Copies of this chain bind each other. A is one copy, B any other.
């Protein structure tokens, strides 16, 4: 895995591919690689939908190896949603296939001259381009079904739905899972719109004829894998909670904590929470012949996903994540798992970020477009996005634009990206992450819930301001590094709590690459990535004023704790204190 595949969609005579050595990007993977390429090669002031933007697709440093849970994919670009740098991360099968083919990254640049849609076929023999106009305006499910007829079931598909083709700010890129379903999305920041702007409907990745990537020191690597896997399995979150109930185990936890954003962040507790909790969801899944435990990609031993069937036992969607259940559920006053599953299915099909869409519908509810709790209305609104009606296009452009178009003041976005499922007033640490991460509001960028709520990696009182900046800083640094390995972020629970699991992660990298990294080196990598991302954003015009929550979080106390977000601006400006 030592080469970069660079594809010029705008080459005279049609798309052209070229393979180049890693060069200056050596030692980077995943988010580290996408962010460094975007920071170096993309004009920060370009229009995100212009030929000057690039879409960078990168597996992680350990992806394609036998290290468990290492199959995450990073997609980077200048974001059409935030206007800043973006790394959006997904599971599924694409990352491992790319890694086994030896590609450290695929860079899509330029833009075709005509109106044709394209598919890109990548296999051991090289790269081919075919027109894909027959897939135009198909949802991801239909597009993958059509592709499977031609390319079979032994490949990984990356596709965009109608939202990506329409170049909407909430558009995602779907990666197929082990069952060839388009359920694993690079959701955040409108990366699907950038793929759409390059007129690429699908990327077909065929790993036939490849093998697992081999480590430099197989013996040490095998030993590290063993310790690492044991670490994941013995930790309560990764070994029990996530496998049993998925991420939705958090609904009851956050609701109990009074930090569950309800009715578009108007209150911190939802009466219907128990009905849509992970516990209720798992029971329903099992009862209907679905699965409460399921891996989104080969080799994951956490298996936090599941399969959600309808009352007749027919597949609807993969187990909706906590964020999705919250955004379409409690945030909109909807306490019906079947409706939420249908909305999740539609998001996956149209190709939309579930967080952005749930928050957007919440803003539309606040504007009076439909009432809170209106299940049929929510389904209808989401359907309009797929149809590309004017209202659908507003909503598909995200919460920020929806708020402006409907004149709403309470719009929970940072850098124009919707806030996830934790109210920053009830969990002040995650508020620091939302405000300051270069990615726009994103819980995964520095998951302070771990320490504020789950008491992983210590405990910092969620309602106090003390210690939150340091907590978010350390988590953001660690996360940037983890996002470079291809490891799922959920390994962090075990890594934060168990020194030997952290060491096993470092040992995995060292034995795979023949390095002698220390924990400090890992932190240095994380800082380097964050600095590059912040530098891009600064050149794109971002300042400290963009590292702030919307004012209402400081002004409107949140029930039940009647607390506002109290971390001071000058404290927020200390998150990246090494710069």
Counting chain B CB atoms within 10 Å of each CB, the highest count among A47, A193, A405, A539 belongs to A405
Q: Does A45 contact B (CB under 8 A)?
A: yes
C-alpha spacing A166/B44, complex, angstroms:
34
Q: Does A13 contact B (CB under 8 A)?
A: no
Q: Which of A539-576 touch B at CB < 8 Å?
A: 539-546, 548, 550-552
Q: Is the CB of A197 within 8 A of B407?
A: yes
A489-527 vs B, CB cutoff 8 Å, 1 = contact: the mask equals 000000000000000000000000000000000000000
Q: Does A401 contact B (CB under 8 A)?
A: yes
Counting chain B CB atoms within 10 Å of each CB, the highest count among A166, A391, A409, A411 belongs to A409
Q: Is the CB of A393 within 8 A of B406?
A: yes
Q: Does A169 contact B (CB under 8 A)?
A: yes
State the copy count for this chain: 2
Q: Does A50 contact B (CB under 8 A)?
A: yes
* Min CB–CB distance A351 → chain B (angstroms): 14
Q: Which chain B positions have C-beta within 8 A of A552?
A: 47, 50
Q: Does A461 contact B (CB under 8 A)?
A: no
Q: Which chain B positions have C-beta within 8 A of A197?
A: 407, 409
Q: Is the CB of A43 within 8 A of B551?
A: yes
Q: Does A223 contact B (CB under 8 A)?
A: no
Q: Does A172 contact B (CB under 8 A)?
A: no
* Min CB–CB distance A382 → chain B (angstroms): 14
User: Pick the contact of A167 from B46, B390, B407 — CB < 8 Å?
Assistant: B407
Q: Does A168 contact B (CB under 8 A)?
A: yes
Interface size class of A (residues with CB under 8 A): 35 or more
Q: Is the CB of A405 within 8 A of B409?
A: no
C-alpha spacing A261/B313, complex, angstroms:
60
Q: Does A475 contact B (CB under 8 A)?
A: no
User: Pick the contact of A405 from B49, B394, B538, B539 — CB < 8 Å?
Assistant: B394
Q: Which chain B positions have C-beta within 8 A of A411?
A: 47
Q: Does A211 contact B (CB under 8 A)?
A: no
The answer to whether residues A46 and B397 also contact, given A407-B167, A546-B541 and a CB cut-off of 8 A, is: no
Least CB separation from A52: chain B residue: B551
Q: Which chain B positions have C-beta within 8 A of A43?
A: 551
Q: Which chain B positions have C-beta within 8 A of A169?
A: 404
The answer to whether residues A539 and B550 also contact, given A394-B390, A404-B397, A409-B47 and a CB cut-off of 8 A, is: no
User: Pick the contact of A551 from B47, B80, B406, B550 — CB < 8 Å?
Assistant: B47
Q: Which chain B positions have C-beta within 8 A of A550?
A: 47
Q: Which chain B positions have C-beta within 8 A of A393?
A: 394, 405-406
Q: Is the CB of B551 within 8 A of A50?
A: yes
Counting chain B CB atoms within 10 Å of each CB, the highest count among A46, A166, A394, A404 belongs to A404
Least CB separation from A165: chain B residue: B407
A387-401 vs B, CB cutoff 8 Å, 1 = contact: the mask equals 001110110010001
Q: Is the CB of A409 within 8 A of B49?
A: yes
C-alpha spacing A136/B405, complex, angstroms:
19
C-alpha spacing A166/B541, complex, angstroms:
30
Least CB separation from A547: chain B residue: B541
* Min CB–CB distance A353 → chain B (angstroms): 15
Counting chain B CB atoms within 10 Å of each CB, the highest count among A169, A197, A389, A541 belongs to A541
C-alpha spacing A169/B408, complex, angstroms:
12
Q: Which chain B positions have C-beta within 8 A of A80?
A: 404
C-alpha spacing A168/B167, complex, angstroms:
23
Q: Which chain B positions have C-beta within 8 A of A52?
A: 551
The answer to whether residues A44 and B168 also contact, given A197-B407, A405-B401, A409-B49 and a CB cut-off of 8 A, is: no
The answer to whether residues A45 and B551 also contact, given A405-B393, A545-B541 and a CB cut-off of 8 A, is: yes
A356-393 vs B, CB cutoff 8 Å, 1 = contact: the mask equals 00000000000000000000000000000000011101
Least CB separation from A549: chain B residue: B45
Q: Which chain B positions have C-beta within 8 A of A407?
A: 49, 166-168, 193, 196-197
Q: Which chain B positions have C-beta within 8 A of A542?
A: 541, 543
C-alpha spacing A390/B387, complex, angstroms:
14
Counting chain B CB atoms within 10 Å of each CB, the highest count among A44, A50, A539, A545 belongs to A545
C-alpha spacing A411/B49, complex, angstroms:
11
> Nearest 3 A-B pairs (CB), nearest first?
A541-B545, A167-B407, A390-B391
Contact sample, A vs B, 24 pairs, CB 8 Å cutoff = A46-B551, A47-B411, A47-B550, A49-B407, A50-B409, A50-B552, A166-B407, A167-B407, A168-B405, A169-B404, A196-B407, A197-B409, A389-B390, A390-B394, A390-B405, A393-B394, A393-B405, A397-B404, A397-B405, A401-B405, A539-B545, A540-B545, A541-B542, A541-B546
Given A47-B550, A193-B407, A393-B406, 13 new contacts (CB under 8 A): A45-B548, A46-B551, A47-B409, A47-B552, A50-B409, A50-B552, A80-B404, A196-B407, A197-B407, A390-B405, A397-B405, A541-B542, A541-B543
